[in-house]
Structure 1
Amino acid sequence: MTTILTQVFKELGYTQDHSLLDVRLAAGYASVILAAASFYLDYTFGFDFARPYLVYTVPLFFVLEFFVSGWLYFKERNVAYVGKKGDTKVTVSTTAANPGVDYKIVVDVDGGKKTVDAKFNDWFDFNGFIVYSKFAGVFEALLEKKDQ
């Protein structure tokens, strides 16, 4: 769905914003680098040499991992797409009942939220392929309401 969302909003003139992912990747890579440095010091020089460094790197690792978990839970939760068009920012969040065919889409355009409750089978044909025009029409209609 994310690829289709990217295509839909690209046709509507939006460019994808990766800032949410960039923050998560930076914190994740920093924690991995800390873990690797801690392992290297301990393996190469021994625990007695590495102990003063481990006192700082291990808690910092856990702080970074806690930050990443919080970021995923509070900021990126259910976000499928973030895009910009000039000064306008659009965020698309989706949730699906499991199991089921119900699909909830929340489109946030500069703080104004619009919600669509739909069913997966509204957008897919009998063979399981997505009907692009129907899927794109949902977002075009939501964005037109915002412009009016």
Structure 2
Amino acid sequence: MPASSENPIPSGCKVFISCPESLMIFEFVFGGLVWILVASSKIPYPPLQAWLMFVSVFCFVITTCLFMFYMCGFQGSLSLLTGLDVFYHIFAAMLYLSAAVMEASVTHWFFFNPNSELYKFNISTSVFAFLATFLYTVHAIVSIHRWKSAS
């Protein structure tokens, strides 16, 4: 793809059918599930639960803002947004990876009773956090490829 003044990030309804932006829908779903499950579960170490809540809420809000920017076409011919998209998704993947690993370790060490309802919530939170990590990582890789081909 030759370099042009047009931004490679689509706008309007094209956001729903373009690859990596369509991944944002799944990022919403899994990020929202992590947010809900972290809020519903009890983690015995409050700063860890606060970190998990921060990661899920922060990523959900920023992903929502980026998605709305793309839908409304605010990116125009601004190539800075392509770089911001790459940076954000790499950063979000690292945040979610840290949250998923922490949640999995807490689930293993503090909720070792498989009959506990809290154990099941934390297992679900770990699974959805790892899925969100995977989605943000795939989005970052595709965004890097798009950014390099647009330059």
* Shorter-normalised TM range: 0.3 to 0.5
Which structure carries more relative contact order (alpha carbon 8 Å, separation 6+)? 2
- Structure number having the greater strand percentage: 1
TM-score, normalised to structure 2's length? 0.38
- Structure number having the greater helix percentage: 2
Please say which structure displays the higher CA radius of gyration. Answer: 1
